[in-house]
Amino acid sequence: MIEVEGLTKRYGEKVAVNGLTFTVRPGVVTGFLGPNGSGKSTTMRMVLGLDRPSAGAVRIDGLPYGRLQDPLRHVGALLDAKALHGGRSAFHHLLALAQSNGIPRSRVDEVLDTVGLTAVARKKARGFSLGMGQRLGIAGALLGDPRILMFDEPVNGLDPEGIHWIRTLMKSLAAQGRTVFVSSHLMSEMALTADHLVVIGQGRLLADTSMADFIRHNARSYVRVRSPQREQLLDVLRAAGTVPVEAGGGVLEVDGAAAERIGELAARHGIVLHELSPRQASLEEAFMRLTAESVEYHARAETSSGGWGDAGGGRGGGKVT
């Protein structure tokens, strides 16, 4: 479990992380989302003790990172796949990590096998493709067989096969009861991988909720309907208490009723339908809506009060959680 409490990081005037409090629990994949520059990497660096918080604290299984014995056995992380010694082979890179953390040499071969790099284990890392570098970074994270794993943008630049592999790996690590915390810009990918979401904007918590609740609260689901008897259909839908919206091209978008009910209403009134299709809200829409709202709100707050104020994060958090 990762517990983040009142975490704040200032770089001079810039507040990169602003009073974040959340818990990342074991057994599920938790996605960490936020627009560019919202403080995700800074937060992850503080979890790993690479940056010192200006205020607040992080505990990993109850302890600050600095008090963990053999930290790689507790938490493994991929923060920057390029952060390795290019002149070393994959094997020697991992061996050096293992030796400095009291991890047996046999584990190096195991993780190389897990990430599919056995055949190139003796090749120098500087010749690796982006995907091979990501796999090597993940091998390093898995080396100590830790209960907690953190990945910052693990699928960046990967091909579809690599993306699929990482998705499956994360799900299986969570299914083994581990804590998996992963940031990504790829919403469609996150929608397939994460069960829970922590969303931040401008360093503040905007949402800490299940994937399903996040989408339900922040995006619109509706039914697309087309009919040659449009006016008649509009009357029937309005009389039934639904809210049809004209979307152009003869299409109505109907909130407040399932496709089945709309179809039954149309049949009862002898109305012909040419289209009846439910549209599910996507994570991307929900994310854009939540983060756009927070930016808009912050812009207004700044104009009126000259500062960000406390209400920005609270408003977003209250909407969702």
| Contacts with ligand ATP, residue ranges (CB under 6 A) | 11, 14, 16, 34, 36-42
* Residue number with CB closer to ligand ATP (144 or 316): 316
Least distance from ligand ATP to the Cβ atom of residue 304, Å:
23
Contact 271, 227 (CB under 8 A): yes
Distance CA 42, CA 65 (A): 15
The strand pairing partners of 201, in sequence order, are 204
* Residue number with CB closer to ligand ATP (65 or 276): 65
* Residue number with CB closer to ligand ATP (50 or 267): 50
The strand pairing partners of 89, in sequence order, are 124
- Please choose, from the candidates 6, 42, 38, the residue with its C-alpha nearest in 3D space to the C-alpha of residue 22: 6
Distance CA 54, CA 283 (A): 32
* Residue number with CB closer to ligand ATP (42 or 209): 42
Element (H, E) at 54: none
* 302 three-state secondary structure: helix
Least distance from ligand ATP to the Cβ atom of residue 307, Å:
17
Least distance from ligand ATP to the Cβ atom of residue 34, Å:
5
SS (H, E, C) 27-47: CCEEEEECCCCCCHHHHHHHH
As given in the structure block, the two tokens for residue 150 are 């953190």
Least distance from ligand ATP to the Cβ atom of residue 16, Å:
3
* Residue number with CB closer to ligand ATP (164 or 185): 185
